[in-house]
Amino acid sequence: MEEMRSGVSRVAFIGSECYPFVKTGGLGDVMYALPRALAREGADIRVLLPLYSVIPQKYKDQMVWKGSFMMDLTQDGRSFFVGIMELTMNGVTYDFIENREFFDWGNPYTGLWEDIPKYCYFSKAALAALNYLEWVPDIVHCHDWQASLVPVYLRTRFALTPVGAARSILTIHNLRFQGICSIDHLKYWSGLQDDLFNYSVFLINGAEANMFKGGLAYADRVTTVSETYAREIQTDAFGEGLNAHLSYHREKLVGIVNGIDVEQWDSRTDALLPAPYGKEDVLARKPENKLALQRRLGLQEDPGRLVLGLISRLTDQKGLDLVNAIFEQMLDERTQVVVLGTGDPRYESAFRYFENAHRGQVCACIMYDESLSHQIYAGADALLVPSLFEPCGLTQLIAMRYGTVPIVRETGGLKDTVAPYQEETGEGNGFTFGDYRADLLLNAVRQARSVFFDHRDRWNGLVLRDMERDVSWNHSAQLYQNLYAELKG
């Protein structure tokens, strides 16, 4: 860690969401946990975020006004207000970019047509704010397509300004979302010069431009959130149309697996749990948490049942068509299923249907509920994550930390973080399957059921081994730190 103190110390994180202010998925967790892990080791970190109206008032009340200025943005030179509100929490400084026209709509993402202007504005405003604050980072670390214009602005409009001295990293948390729109729309809102609208930077065809593509071309380094996903995205099957572009830039592409914040996710101190527990008493206390969960959700109260949890955005990415295909076969009189998620109405109604058809045995919580998620991680025996693709996946990491055995498909970060259960020796972290097939998911569930009911000693071994696994940021934060140091040169 000496290296960190003497080496690179100033990093600006730029992204569209961050727990506890605003979170819709794993990106929000990483934007919270990684800066904290780096700050703990002595790095000087700022996180730049939009000041959305949905950010809870209690945080807004703690923010301090740092100033404002007008910034030109569009092709026709329209200027927009940029306000900066600041908050420091656990050694990390958060600078929120205020502009009511862009960020007062409620949810962070409101549809691509409005989101493109919003994040053009945000990317440029974030760099302008760093100059305004006279805080010049060594590295700007940008996240997903929403911040992907930052590396482009940095080398063009900001090249001769103080922040232009920084190097840039762009992290791909999910390649499915790329910020694609008509060439004219992006040209207008980014205000970037015409010569960037070629096939090496923004263009993907004669009519459309892709913000992520441009950012990947301009970033000094590109990272993604697991080694397997870094390989997968260079293939047709996972590349979402950018595989050739990513292969071309592979020299600067590296996979670093996510961790979780082990203070935020600590079953020993988790105030949201009815019966907090550690490794030493998990086997005794998990049943208490299970009973409380069953009571809360109106399920038959019996700690002897196998409770399968699913906590997820309800989208195609998450393998929910496989879950639906085998739902009835997954259930038996000893098994219960708890779903927590929102998203595609098709999946929402399918899970509601299963709840109605199997009252007391199935609960479909079609909502986003942080506190219920903690109680499911603690009260369930196993967690289903059969994703079609999964850049890293955090739910399997949280599950392991809470002694809940993951059942996952071997893709992306799921493959890198869950060692398959070995029938002969009982080793491993969870139950896994390879090809994207419902019958293979069913086999994995059946295997889990058989170990849970017929070989409890082995099941308990899995639970304890999972709780002992290091899923913290310690190792990966060091890998990022090495990357920062290498870039700074």
Residues that bind ligand ADP in the complex, under the rule CB under 6 A: 25-27, 29, 311-313, 340-342, 368-370, 373, 392-395
Q: Which is nearer to ligand ADP, 252 or 313 (CB)?
A: 313
Q: Which is nearer to ligand ADP, 152 or 392 (CB)?
A: 392
Single-letter amino acid, residue 70:
M
Q: Which is nearer to ligand ADP, 117 or 406 (CB)?
A: 406
Evaluate whether 46 touches 140 at the Cβ level (below 8 Å): no
Which sign, positive or negative, has the C-alpha torsion 477, 484, 49, 245?
negative
Q: Which is nearer to ligand ADP, 84 or 322 (CB)?
A: 322
- Minimum CB separation of residue 402 from ligand ADP in Å reads 11
Single-letter amino acid, residue 56:
P
Phi-psi region of 154 (alpha: psi -120 to 50; beta: other; left: phi over 0): alpha
Evaluate whether 211 touches 143 at the Cβ level (below 8 Å): no
Q: Percent helix, strand and coil across the chain, each rounded to 5?
A: 40, 20, 40
Separation of alpha carbons 228 and 202, rounded Å? 26
Q: Which is nearer to ligand ADP, 44 or 369 (CB)?
A: 369
Q: Which is nearer to ligand ADP, 177 or 353 (CB)?
A: 177
Contacts of 147 by beta carbon, 8 Å cutoff, 6+ apart: 14, 15, 16, 119, 122, 123, 126, 170, 215
- Minimum CB separation of residue 369 from ligand ADP in Å reads 5
- Minimum CB separation of residue 263 from ligand ADP in Å reads 14
Q: Which is nearer to ligand ADP, 215 or 309 (CB)?
A: 309
Q: Residue with CB nearest ligand ADP?
A: 26
Burial (CB count within 10 angstroms: exposed 0-12, middle 13-18, buried 19+), residue 58? exposed
Q: Where are the alpha helices (DSSP H) in 267-360?
A: 282-297, 320-330, 345-357
- Minimum CB separation of residue 475 from ligand ADP in Å reads 18
CA atoms within 13 Å, Cβ hemisphere of 338: 27
- Minimum CB separation of residue 95 from ligand ADP in Å reads 24
- Minimum CB separation of residue 382 from ligand ADP in Å reads 15
Alpha-carbon distances of 407 from 24, 390, 400, 403, 456, rounded to whole Å:
23, 14, 11, 13, 17
Q: Which is nearer to ligand ADP, 272 or 284 (CB)?
A: 272
- Minimum CB separation of residue 436 from ligand ADP in Å reads 17
Name beta bridge partners: 278: none
Q: Which is nearer to ligand ADP, 37 or 340 (CB)?
A: 340
- Minimum CB separation of residue 394 from ligand ADP in Å reads 4
- Minimum CB separation of residue 368 from ligand ADP in Å reads 4
- Minimum CB separation of residue 254 from ligand ADP in Å reads 19
State phi, psi for 285 to the nearest 5 degrees.
Answer: -95, -20
DSSP per residue, 426-452: --SSBEEE-SS-HHHHHHHHHHHHHHH
What value does the CA radius of gyration of the chain take, rounded to a whole number of Å?
Answer: 23
Q: Which is nearer to ligand ADP, 137 or 430 (CB)?
A: 430
Contacts of 200 by beta carbon, 8 Å cutoff, 6+ apart: 217
